[in-house]
Amino acid sequence: MPIANAGQFGYLEQEASTAYVIRLLALWNRCNFLKKLVLNMPQLQEGNQELWNRLAATHNLCLGQTIEHVSRNQTILVKTTSNQWEFERLIWTAPVDDFLSVADACTEEVEIFSRVRTIKRAVITCKVEGLPANIFYVIRNTLNQPLPTSYPLAIYEVDPGSKIYNFYPFMDETTTVEELESNVADCVKKLGGTQVTLMGQPLIWKWFSHFSAEDLKDGIYQRLEMLQGNQNTYFANGMTAGVSVPYGMEYAAYLVERFF
Ligand SMILES: Cc1cc2nc3c(=O)[nH]c(=O)nc-3n(C[C@H](O)[C@H](O)[C@H](O)COP(=O)(O)OP(=O)(O)OC[C@H]3O[C@@H](n4cnc5c(N)ncnc54)[C@H](O)[C@@H]3O)c2cc1C
C-alpha cells in the first residue's frame, strides 16, 4: 500500500475503491522483476520527439487552441478563441469537467461527469547535496504512521548522478507552498541530505479522476460506456482509461476498434 499511496492515492488510501488499487497493481505487474525491485522510472528514449514530429506531419494539427464552446446537432460545432470548425464526430480527450463547462452536455453526461472526483498533487524539483545517487525512495509504513497530506511520499533522482531530485507530495484545500517546501526540507534532513536548493515553484496538478466506491457499485462505468458514441461523441481520457499513459493509449485503441 505505501507504494500505491505514493504513486496514486495519497490520503485517499482509506476510501479509494479496491478496483483502482488493482488496476494500478496490474500496471506495475507489467514491469519485469528488476524494475519492480528498484522502481526506476522509464525515461524517454532518444528519437521520441522525432516519432511525434513524423506522426504530426501526417495530420492537420491546430495547436494552442482552447475549446470554448461545443454544440451538437446534425453536425458538431467546435469554437475556440480564434476559430470555428464543423465535424461529424467529436473525440473529447480533455478532462470531463472541462467538457461540462464548454459543451451542450445532455442530462446523462451531466449526471455522470459531475460525480467525478479529483485530488491535487505537486511535484517539487530540488538540487540536494548528500543523498545517494540513482535513488527511488517511497516512504515506508504510512498506514501505521500517518504523515501530513503535504509530506512527500516518493523521491527519486531525475537523472542518475545529477543531484536533481523530484519530490511528490499530495495537497488538500489548506496546503500552502511554504508547507510543501518545509516538508521537503524535513524529508531531506531525515534522509541525511545536507543542502536543498529549489529549482522553481512546485508544479501543481489536478490528479486521479475517479468515482466513489458507491458509484462504482451502482455501475457508473457501465453507464459511461453506454454514453460512448451518443451524439457522435466519444471520451478518451484519464477518466475513461485510468491513470497512466499506457492505459490512455490502450483505451483510445479500444474506442477506435469499437466504433471506427
Ligand atoms: C506529475 C505527473 C507525473 C506523471 N507521471 C507519469 C508517468 O511517469 N507515467 C505515466 O504513464 N503516467 C504519468 N502521469 C499520468 C499521465 O500523465 C496521465 O494519466 C495522462 O496524461 C492522462 O491523459 P489525458 O489525455 O487524459 O490527459 P492530459 O494528458 O492531461 O491531456 C489533456 C489535455 O487537454 C487539454 N485541455 C483541457 N481543456 C481544454 C480545452 N477547453 N480546450 C483544449 N484543450 C484542453 C489540456 O491542456 C491537456 O493538454 C503523470 C501525471 C502527472 C500529473
pLDDT of residue 256: 96
Distance from residue 123's CA to the centre of ligand 1 (Å): 14
- Positive/negative CA dihedral, 64, 65, 67, 73: negative
Q: What ipTM was reported for this prediction?
A: 0.96
pLDDT of residue 41: 66
- Positive/negative CA dihedral, 168, 157, 139, 3: positive
CA dihedral 55, 56, 59, 63 (to 10 degrees): 150
Pocket flag, ligand 1, residue 245 (CB < 6 Å): yes
Listed by start position, the domains of the chain span 2-42+118-207, 63-116+212-259
Among residues 156, 206, 208, the alpha carbon closest in space to that of 23 is found at: 208
pLDDT of residue 11: 82
Query: Quick one: three-class SS letters along 134-196?
Result: CCEEECCCCCCCCCCCCCCCEEEECCCCCCEEEEECEECCCCCHHHHHHHHHHHHHHHCCCEE
pLDDT of residue 162: 94
pLDDT of residue 144: 72
Question: What does each C-alpha distance from 249 to 116, 219, 241, 253 come to in angstroms?
Answer: 21, 24, 8, 6
Residue 170 has, within 13 A of its CA and on its CB side, a CA count of 19
**Using CA positions, which residue lies closest to atom 13 of ligand 1?**
244
pLDDT of residue 135: 85
Distance from residue 208's CA to the centre of ligand 1 (Å): 10
**Could you read off the pLDDT tens digit of each residue along the chain, which spans 260 residues?**
778 888 888 888 778 899 999 999 999 899 888 877 777 666 778 899 999 999 999 999 999 999 999 999 999 999 999 999 999 999 999 999 899 999 999 999 999 999 999 999 999 999 999 999 888 888 887 777 778 999 999 999 998 899 999 999 999 999 999 999 999 999 999 999 999 999 999 999 999 999 999 999 999 999 999 999 999 999 999 999 999 999 999 999 999 999 99
pLDDT of residue 22: 93
Distance from residue 240's CA to the centre of ligand 1 (Å): 13
One CATH from 3.40.50.720, 3.40.50.970, 3.30.70.1990, 2.60.120.620 for 2-42+118-207: 3.30.70.1990
* 3-class secondary-structure state, position 105: coil
Question: Which amino acid does the sequence have at 214?
Answer: E
Distance from residue 24's CA to the centre of ligand 1 (Å): 17
pLDDT of residue 139: 86
Q: Where are the alpha helices (DSSP H) in 64-154?
A: 96-102, 107-113
If you search the block for the grid coordinates 504512521, which residue do you land on? 145
- Fold classified for 63-116+212-259: FAD/NAD(P)-binding domain (3.50.50)
pLDDT of residue 112: 97
pLDDT of residue 254: 97
Pocket flag, ligand 1, residue 158 (CB < 6 Å): no
* 3-class secondary-structure state, position 244: coil
- Out of 30, 93, 167, 255, mutate this one to test ligand 1's pocket (max ligand atoms within 8 Å of CB): namely 93
Q: What are phi and psi of 234, to 5 degrees?
A: -130, 145
pLDDT of residue 145: 76
